């Protein structure tokens, strides 16, 4: 009840003069300063107590009713306002508790994340320390071998030098002794025999030097490439902020499973990104262009869902699992594989075949989402959708045994060349003849369009290189062909034999496109 809705008396003009108060009304001990009468009425418009004469004169036409009733109604309004304030306070307290919970959760997550990061970096540091020790040890071993070889050679040389010094001294003493008689001649043969050597001269080159290029060449790149074996890469990373309450995410953020022992006391914060009430989780990466692929290991799980979901899908309320709601997935329920379309479509596999790994391939631009058996490359199902929103990889697991895991992908490193070359028609002709004669062995054709494209350095163990002998054998022929072309080249507006204008060079500095093939089995010699 409000003051506006409860008006037992409406006093105007003369009616107020003859107003008879009801028997339950009690005169207020306070008096009107103007008329000296008790304040027994209340003006709702001006919110002030009145006497009967004030109500009849200065508050004529206002909404006036008994003071006791006004007090009762005002108390009801205050109680209503008080309840509203209490409800608002409860709401703010709830929000404050949520913030405190989130703050404590962030503190815990920060500590765990820091600890995990330290372990990861310690693993990298340990790898670098071991790699450093191994490479330094290889350098020391080679240095010791070179040092030992040099010392052994110097020992042999010193022995030879000592022997030569003794022979020189003996020969000089014989020459200083003088004499030209029979005795001198008899000693001559022995002296000559002592000066005899094998006639071989020592090699002037010192022992082989340390292969510095072997130890320092592309050192950081070689270590980084080797580091790939201890640094796995996953195409998508699970986002714990989106995980439903019963889900547990691994510290590497690549595996999720349901946690049946989770209690409400340790529940995660109810942040806007989190799904509720579903036991699902999204990847951190969202895609709005390009082609993306990732493999999921479902293992022995008998109740799972995987696919993609639109960014705009509802997180805090239930939603329909269909493409119209922004969800494109396949699932395993009650032993049956099905595509979550409208209506659902069964996915039939070979008898007794169980999916272990599922490959998901999203082509956002074309609008297709393809599912395959990653073990057998068997096609499972393809969604065709006109994607307009950013799509996130979606994972749902409600099985008590097993879970879902994003598998790591193999990383291949390609070193490319950005050189784009311009060649003349003469050079093109020479290049074509060389290719026809087998002078240069290359994977690509000798077309002008392809020779103007960038080439890549590839590691190909099966690739072959040109023989040096064969190259030398045809080198003279190529020069002769080029000299002949230069002699017969027309000048000015002169035309060739087939009445075609002479070709002009595209560049003052001829360039050639080279396709490099690095052989890992033998040296380039």
CA angle centred on 421, ends 419 and 423, rounded to 5°: 165
Can you tell me which residue has the tokens 């009107």? 32
Q: Give all strands (DSSP E) within 236-377, no chain letters.
A: 247-249, 255-258, 280-282, 291-297, 304-310, 327-333, 336-339, 345-346, 357-363, 368-373
Q: What's the rounded Cα separation, in Å, for the pair 256 and 14?
A: 84
Output the six-digit token pair for 75: 């108390």
Phi, psi of 385, rounded to the nearest 5 degrees: -140, 145
Can you tell me which residue has the tokens 């001649």? 185
Whether pTM > 0.75 for this model: the answer is no
Per-residue pLDDT at 83: 93
Phi, psi of 168, rounded to the nearest 5 degrees: -65, -45
Per-residue pLDDT at 85: 93
CATH topology (fold) of 240-406: Jelly Rolls (2.60.120)
Per-residue pLDDT at 168: 87
3-class state of residue 250 by DSSP: coil
Q: What's the rounded Cα separation, in Å, for the pair 157 and 294?
A: 67
Give yes or no for a contact between 357 and 307, defined as CB atoms under 8 angstroms apart: no
Q: How many of the other CB atoms lie within 10 Å of CB of 174?
A: 18
Q: What's the rounded Cα separation, in Å, for the pair 323 and 364?
A: 14
Q: What's the rounded Cα separation, in Å, for the pair 447 and 435?
A: 11
What residues does 358 pair with on adjacent strands? 296, 373
3-class state of residue 38 by DSSP: strand
Going across the sheet that includes 48-50, the strands are 48-50, 41-43, 64-66
Helix (H) or strand (E) holding 380: strand 378-384
Residue spans in the chain of domains classed CATH 2.60.120.920:
240-406
Helix (H) or strand (E) holding 384: strand 378-384
395: DSSP letter? E
Q: Give all strands (DSSP E) within 110-258, no chain letters.
A: 247-249, 255-258
Provide the residue-wise pLDDT of the chain in tens; the chain has 525 residues: 333 333 334 443 333 444 444 433 444 467 777 777 777 788 877 778 888 778 777 776 787 777 777 777 778 888 999 999 999 999 999 889 888 888 888 888 889 889 999 999 999 999 999 999 999 999 999 999 988 888 888 888 898 888 888 888 888 887 877 666 777 777 777 777 777 766 667 766 666 788 899 999 999 989 988 888 888 889 999 999 998 878 889 988 999 988 766 554 456 777 888 888 788 999 999 999 999 999 999 988 888 999 999 998 988 888 888 999 899 999 998 888 999 998 999 998 876 678 999 999 999 999 999 999 998 899 999 999 999 999 999 999 887 777 899 999 887 777 765 554 444 444 555 444 444 443 333 333 333 334 333 333 333 333 333 343 444 445 555 555 555 544 444 444 444 444 444 444 444 444 433 333 333 333 333
Phi, psi of 128, rounded to the nearest 5 degrees: -65, -40
Contacts of 231 (CB under 8 A, 6+ apart): 124
Q: Give all strands (DSSP E) within 175-320, no chain letters.
A: 247-249, 255-258, 280-282, 291-297, 304-310
CA angle centred on 136, ends 135 and 138, rounded to 5°: 65
């Amino acid at each position: 009840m409000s003051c506006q809705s409860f008006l037992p008396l409406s006093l105007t003009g003369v009616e107020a003069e003859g107003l008879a108060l009801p028997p339950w009304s009690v005169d207020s001990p306070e008096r009107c300063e103007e008329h000296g009468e008790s304040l027994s009425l209340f003006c709702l418009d001006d919110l002030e107590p009145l006497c009967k004469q004030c109500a009849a004169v200065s508050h004529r036409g206002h909404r006036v009713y008994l003071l006791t009733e006004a007090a009762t109604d005002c108390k009801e309004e205050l109680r209503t306002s008080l309840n509203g304030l209490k409800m608002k306070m409860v709401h703010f307290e709830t929000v404050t508790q949520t913030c405190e919970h989130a703050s404590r959760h962030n503190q815990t997550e920060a500590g765990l994340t820091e600890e995990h990061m330290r372990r990861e970096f310690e693993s990298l540091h340990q790898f670098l320390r071991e790699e450093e020790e191994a490479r330094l040890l290889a350098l020391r071993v080679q240095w010791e071998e070179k040092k030992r070889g040099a010392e052994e050679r110097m020992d042999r040389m010193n022995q030879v030098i000592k022997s030569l010094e003794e022979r020189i001294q003996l020969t000089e003493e014989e020459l200083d002794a003088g004499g030209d008689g029979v005795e001198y001649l008899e000693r001559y043969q022995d002296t000559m025999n002592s000066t005899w050597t094998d006639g071989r001269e020592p090699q002037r080159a010192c022992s082989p030097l340390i292969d510095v290029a072997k130890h320092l060449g592309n050192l950081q790149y070689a270590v980084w490439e080797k580091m790939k074996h201890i640094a796995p890469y996953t195409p998508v990373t699970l986002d714990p902020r989106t995980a439903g309450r019963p889900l547990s995410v691994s510290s590497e953020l690549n595996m999720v499973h349901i946690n049946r022992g989770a209690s409400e006391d340790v529940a995660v914060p109810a942040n806007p990104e989190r799904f509720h009430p579903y036991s699902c989780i999204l990847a951190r990466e969202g895609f709005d262009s390009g082609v993306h692929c990732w493999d999921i290991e479902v293992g022995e799980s008998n109740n799972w869902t995987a696919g993609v979901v639109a960014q705009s899908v509802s997180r805090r309320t239930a939603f329909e699992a269909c493409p119209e709601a922004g969800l494109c997935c396949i699932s395993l329920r009650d032993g049956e594989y099905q595509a979550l379309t409208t209506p659902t479509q069964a996915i039939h596999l070979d008898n007794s075949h169980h999916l272990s790994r599922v490959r998901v391939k999203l082509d956002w631009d074309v609008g297709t989402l393809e599912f395959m058996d990653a073990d057998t490359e068997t096609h499972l199902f393809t969604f065709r959708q006109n994607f307009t929103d950013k799509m996130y990889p979606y994972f749902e697991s409600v099985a008590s045994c097993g879970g879902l895991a994003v598998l790591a992908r193999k990383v291949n490193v390609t070193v490319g060349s950005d050189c784009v070359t311009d060649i003349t028609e003469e050079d093109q002709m020479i290049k074509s003849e060389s290719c026809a004669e087998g002078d240069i062995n290359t994977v690509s054709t000798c077309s002008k369009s392809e020779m103007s494209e960038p080439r890549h350095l590839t590691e190909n163990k099966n690739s072959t290189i040109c023989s040096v002998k064969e190259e030398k054998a045809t080198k003279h022929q190529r020069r002769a062909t080029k000299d002949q072309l230069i002699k017969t080249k027309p000048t000015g507006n002169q035309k060739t034999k087939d009445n075609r204008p002479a070709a002009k060079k595209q560049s003052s500095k001829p360039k050639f496109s080279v396709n490099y093939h690095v052989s890992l089995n033998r040296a380039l010699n």
